[in-house]
Chains A and B, each alone.
Chain A
């Protein structure tokens, strides 16, 4: 799995591409931890744009859960957007779309994420 990062004001957009399975989960977790560590103590927003994510398993859901929780504890906004149908189904069945903010696309996520222009 390939992961790209983009900065938009104080928000960081993380773009995972491909399959987030057991084999890819540890690497993705390390990258998200790096993004959150890079934010340090200043409040920011993290948006995971999943438009190019084809597949997620429980190993991948765990990474999203840990990142969302770490963001909440650090006072950072955290959102996920643009889920493909196969990924959306796993988020819905697991109940994760009720505990993590999920938006239709990046523009909607940015509009709802505080500090986007700060």
Chain B
């Protein structure tokens, strides 16, 4: 089962993408306990794309693809904005005290910890981030 949708790189589109994911989840009959990883990854990576801006003179486009295959779900987020590899962000110090704790890089860190596999590619003028996790024990 595979579905995709495309939205402008605009924070207001987050709710549209979340609904797209939730509808896919219901249609595929996936276990509710695994949904948080994908909702979180969608929000963190999409908002990263939004924050990193658009090419001069136009709003970047963001394409989101969900692909369920053999019990594994892959979330792929592609955009035609400026080149940016979120996996290059330094991991936050998760042992820092309350006073010293910083939030920069936390979203991407959560995604890397909660997904089984995460990879980034720059393909021509597009950023492509692919995230996979097993969501069903049997294919």
Contacts and interface: CB of A to CB of B under 8 A. Distances in A.
Interface string A57-83: 111011001001100100000000000
A96 to B, nearest CB: 8
A115 interface: no
Given A23-B15, A93-B114, A95-B95, A57 B101 contact: no
A86 B35 CA distance: 9
A89 interface: yes
Interface in B105-125: 106-107, 109-110, 113-114
Contacts of A21: 14, 18, 43
Given A57-B40, A57-B44, A89-B36, A23 B106 contact: no
Interface residues of B, number: 26
Contacts of A62: 103, 106
Contacts of A100: 98
B115 to A, nearest CB: 11
Contacts of B11: 22-23
A94 interface: yes
A37 B78 CA distance: 43
Given A57-B44, A62-B106, A94-B106, 13 more contacts: A22-B11, A22-B43, A57-B43, A57-B107, A58-B110, A59-B43, A59-B47, A61-B106, A62-B103, A72-B99, A89-B114, A93-B113, A93-B114
A38 interface: no
Nearest to A99: B98
Given A55-B36, A65-B103, A99 B44 contact: no
Per DSSP, chain B at the interface is: helix
Contact of A85 (B33, B98, B109): B33
11 contacts: A21-B43, A22-B14, A59-B47, A61-B103, A62-B106, A65-B103, A69-B98, A90-B110, A94-B109, A99-B97, A100-B98
B40 A90 contact: yes
B98 A72 contact: yes
Contacts of B110: 58, 90, 93-94
